[in-house]
Structure 1
Amino acid sequence: MIPRLHERTHTPRDPLAETLGRPVSPNEGLTQDTVVAHWPGPDYFTLDHEQRTWTSVQWAEHLQGPYLEHPFAASPDHDRRAILHLDVRLHPDDRELTGPEWAETAHRLARAAGIEIPGKEHGCRWITDQAQPGRLDLIANLIRLDGAWHAPPTDILRRLTDEARRIEQDLRLIPVRTGPAARPAARPAPTASAQLASVLTQLADEQAGPLASVRGLVEHTAHRIARQPGAVGTDTAHRLELIARRLHALQQDLDGAAAQLVQLRVAAVPPAARRTAHRSPKEKCLFALCRPLPGHPP
């Protein structure tokens, strides 16, 4: 699970459209399967007999509300960009989380980011969308309901990362590998000779190569024609057998050319380097001990 913090904006419409993968719409109702967690929400603002499923436009207006109600609220450095957006992504091979698991993840990330503070009645409005597979987005307004500006912790990304590791362990998700083992060792780029030798070897493959398939079809056709009555069929079968032999000879020529390219590549390596590469660890150690010191004659 990898958290990412986006640049803050003035309006929640663009972050919400990004999370949904489409523009916000007044005709599209977002169910609890999409908006998996929020504070507060429709149950706080509507009566039981009124609308309880909001459209994406209504959710955007809900998040924009404190920004319009408190036009002078700003950060200590007079920044009015109050919309915070972060997302987390699961490993591609992770299992699908259930609705309650996504909701639990949302609340834990909101608390780690300092957005949700238990017991605080005038906190920040926020929602979390799970509209894309394996991804959860949290959008919040840093202007609290009482008009005060909520400053996220300076180490918010580290806190989110630490909480993501704990969520991975609690929900038995695939952990993100960290440290030197996180990146596989870089493999040397193959030379042009090695690439060409690989192509020729594939062409000459007796089992799965394209020429082997063609040769097999030709031999099969020759065998079937030979069983047909008439001298014409026999002559045609003989000609196909000759074609199959030429294809086999071509495969052998390609195999020989591939072997020659490999030999040329080995020959291009300096002899000293080849000898060092084939030395055992013990031989390398003895060679290092017996090597003359700088400034001394060999």
Structure 2
Amino acid sequence: MIPYIQEAEFSPSIPLTAALDHPIAEQDVLGDLVVASAPLDSSVAEGSSQEWMFADWEEYLLAPQSPHPYAAGPNANDPEIFHMTVRLHPADRELSTPEWAEIAQRLSRIAGLAPSGDEQACRWVALQARPGRLDAIANLIRGAGVWARQPYPLVRALMEECRRIEADLGLVPAQPQGGRPLTARLPPQRPALPRPVAGQAPPAAAAQLATLMCQLADENTGPIASVRGLVEQTAHQLEELPHSYGPEAGHRLEWIARRLYGIQQDLKVTAADLPGANQRAALTTRAPAAPHPAPARRSR
């Protein structure tokens, strides 16, 4: 399961339309596409949330801005409408509506939208309109007119909760171990293979080779990080193409990037098991060379 933070907006119509992935009229009923939402009160539209039209959900998410037009976020001009998505692995089983609802509620709590026992929580709604994907959209202005407090870094907090959800629901894990940096840096230089020295002791030779593996796996200057960064950037560009094949291909590339990250971790573990760790420490604790600037990309 992979979480994304999409670009914030001033209007909920944009993320709602993006979640549905097709044009929709204000009178269209979202029905069973809505798997969870914040508790509804008497101030909202009549009827069950399953009967609400697109316009009802749009009005529901905009409502906090009317009594609190000057509520400000961490930056004065921050958009109020928050949009996050999660995607399952292509090999995952099909989830039931209650399972999607559980995922939405757990991630909403982690994202600071609906802390347990908070009666002034944010208004939010979660839709499951695309295979293997969940969209949660919220207004970050709380009931009392105060901006929601979200954990920092938010993406890491969501990733950690996704790992727990994967374990609880028996889903395919996104990565074998550890946390994953947001983006691999580009582009490192190719490390050179160490040349064996005549009469060199086996532990010393092993230490040199282990140092090479650490260089290969290095997050700042390693070539695998460079490849992973290119794969990630290609995935992001594909996801934004206005064609059906783009998001699917981008999704596959995201999983390829995570497998590359797993290779980096395996190299580090293998290097740690070789003799000469003390000799290696002096080589691996030096500050990495500054990478070349990476192409600009949208924050996720």
TM > 0.5? yes
2:46 & 2:8 partners in 1: Cα distance? 33
In the alignment, which residue of structure 2 is the partner of 1:11? 11
In the alignment, which residue of structure 1 is the partner of 2:150? 152
Contact (CA 8 Å) 2:44, 2:60: kept in 1 or not? Answer: no
2:102 & 2:54 partners in 1: Cα distance? 22
Change (3 A) 1:44 1:70: closer
Contact (CA 8 Å) 2:86, 2:135: kept in 1 or not? Answer: yes
Please list every run of 5 or more consecutive structure 1 residues that lacks an aligned counterpart in the other structure. Answer: 183-283, 291-298
Contact (CA 8 Å) 1:128, 1:139: kept in 2 or not? Answer: yes
In the alignment, which residue of structure 1 is the partner of 2:40? 41
TM-score (norm 2): 0.56
In the alignment, which residue of structure 1 is the partner of 2:23? 23
Contact (CA 8 Å) 1:17, 1:23: kept in 2 or not? Answer: yes
Which structure shows the bigger proportion of residues in helix conformation?
1
Q: CA deviation at 1:120?
A: 1.2
Secondary structure at the counterpart of residue 73 of structure 1: coil
In the alignment, which residue of structure 1 is the partner of 2:129? 131
- Report the structure number with the largest CA radius of gyration: 1
In the alignment, which residue of structure 1 is the partner of 2:53? 55
What is the one-letter code of the residue matched to 1:135?
R
1:83 & 1:51 partners in 2: Cα distance? 20
Q: Give aligned pairs, total.
A: 186
CA RMSD of superposed structures (Å): 2.7
In the alignment, which residue of structure 1 is the partner of 2:97? 99
1:43 & 1:171 partners in 2: Cα distance? 34
Q: CA deviation at 1:288?
A: 4.8
1:134 & 1:127 partners in 2: Cα distance? 17
Q: CA deviation at 1:83?
A: 0.7
1:56 & 1:23 partners in 2: Cα distance? 11
Change (3 A) 1:51 1:104: closer
In the alignment, which residue of structure 2 is the partner of 1:164? 162
What is the one-letter code of the residue matched to 1:35?
V
Q: CA deviation at 1:70?
A: 1.4
Q: CA deviation at 1:148?
A: 1.4
Change (3 A) 1:114 1:51: closer
Change (3 A) 1:80 1:68: farther
2:150 & 2:77 partners in 1: Cα distance? 13
Contact (CA 8 Å) 2:30, 2:50: kept in 1 or not? Answer: no
* Percent identity for Structure 1 against Structure 2: 43
Q: CA deviation at 1:118?
A: 1.6
Contact (CA 8 Å) 1:3, 1:86: kept in 2 or not? Answer: yes
In the alignment, which residue of structure 1 is the partner of 2:85? 87
Change (3 A) 1:42 1:92: farther
TM-score (norm 1): 0.57
Cα deviation, 1:174-198, whole Å, max 9, x if unaligned, reads 1112469x9xxxxxxxxxxxxxxxx
Q: CA deviation at 1:57?
A: 1.9
Q: CA deviation at 1:24?
A: 3.9
Please list every run of 5 or more consecutive structure 2 residues that lacks an aligned counterpart in the other structure. Answer: 181-194, 201-300
Q: CA deviation at 1:45?
A: 3.4
1:51 & 1:38 partners in 2: Cα distance? 9
Secondary structure at the counterpart of residue 130 of structure 1: strand
1:169 & 1:179 partners in 2: Cα distance? 13
After superposing on structure 2, the runs of 4+ consecutive aligned residues of structure 1 that deviate more than 6 Å are none
What is the one-letter code of the residue matched to 2:55?
V
In the alignment, which residue of structure 1 is the partner of 2:110? 112
Secondary structure at the counterpart of residue 36 of structure 2: strand
In the alignment, which residue of structure 1 is the partner of 2:296? none
1:52 & 1:46 partners in 2: Cα distance? 11
2:66 & 2:9 partners in 1: Cα distance? 14
Contact (CA 8 Å) 1:30, 1:54: kept in 2 or not? Answer: yes
1:55 & 1:69 partners in 2: Cα distance? 23
Q: CA deviation at 1:47?
A: 5.5
1:68 & 1:80 partners in 2: Cα distance? 16
What is the one-letter code of the residue matched to 1:36?
V
Contact (CA 8 Å) 1:13, 1:24: kept in 2 or not? Answer: no
1:175 & 1:51 partners in 2: Cα distance? 32
Secondary structure at the counterpart of residue 57 of structure 1: helix
- Superposed, 1:98-247 pairs within 5 Å as 98-178=96-176
Q: CA deviation at 1:110?
A: 0.4
In the alignment, which residue of structure 2 is the partner of 1:201? none
Change (3 A) 1:79 1:179: same
What is the one-letter code of the residue matched to 1:152?
Q
1:12 & 1:91 partners in 2: Cα distance? 27
Change (3 A) 1:43 1:67: closer
Change (3 A) 1:85 1:51: closer
